[in-house]
Amino acid sequence: MRTIRGVKFYTFSMNNVKKKIFSDSVSEQYRKYVIKIITSNRKSYYLLWGTDVHNEDFDYLLLNTANNIIAFSRIKDLLVFVNRTANLVDEKSVKKWVKTYKANKAYVTYNFLYLLDFISEKDIIDANEEYADKAISIIDFFNLFSDYSQQTNRKDLLKLCQDNDINILIDYLYMTFFWRASKESCKEKLNKKIKKLDFLKVEENIKNMVYSFEKEIVMIGYPFL
């Protein structure tokens, strides 16, 4: 949930994001999702993203003991790892999920290369619907990065996602493309702020977020050692 000037808005989650996603009833039932990451150097990884329904719906990624993001080159390897590993977050739910999960396709894809290609374009704030996909890519990545930052409680990462300029942009994109019932006073304030936004700073911030996230990815291959 995001708050602007005392007005609260509920942000969408994986379950209702307005983009093309692979429908998977098992993942939606247990709220555990295989997500695909395409990095800035064109490498592809599969990660496990989930919601701990027994811990205030806390969103999390599958991490190792050093808080690195565990990644796999194949969905099959991810499933085998989860099935064989103990002491996982929300373990009962994730074990039920992995035993009933039959899909072999990512629930959603995060394309960092695509994100970095267009983030320098100022027309991402254009209200035209053709820019909705770009808005979604920025918001999705911001939320994913925020989840990881909060999960690890890393001050350096939290500082990046708490930056005022990037939060103005995120709020503006939500308001423009998804908050159909936003108050006029809220719209006016955000419109004034977006005109003064330091786009170069926002671009640099998002790049730092992408590269910081990528640095934390550790690929594990089968057999697991």
Q: Is the pLDDT of residue 57 over 90?
A: no
pLDDT at 129: 63
- Is residue 68 packed enough to be buried (19+ CB in 10 Å), middle (13-18) or exposed (0-12)? middle
Q: Domain range spanning residue 166?
A: 2-219
| DSSP structure string for 38-67 | E-TTS-EEEEEEEEETTTTTEEEE-B-TT-
Q: pLDDT tens for residues 87-141?
A: 999 999 999 999 999 888 999 999 999 899 888 765 566 556 667 788 888 999 9
Element (H, E) at 189: helix 184-195
Q: Which residues of 94-122 are buried (b: 16+ CB within 10 A; e: fewer)?
A: bbebbeebeeeebbbbbbbeebbeebeee
Q: Which residues pair with 34 in a beta bridge?
A: 48
Place of tokens 């027994």: 54
Residue 225 lies in a domain: no
pTM of the model: 0.84
Q: How many domains does the chain have?
A: 1
Q: Is 210 inside any structural domain? A: yes
Spatial separation of the C-alpha atoms in residues 209 and 125, rounded to whole Å: 20
Residue 38 inside a domain? The answer is yes
Peptide bond into 223 cis (omega under 30): yes
**Of 117, 146, 124, 142, nearest in space to 58 by CA:** 146
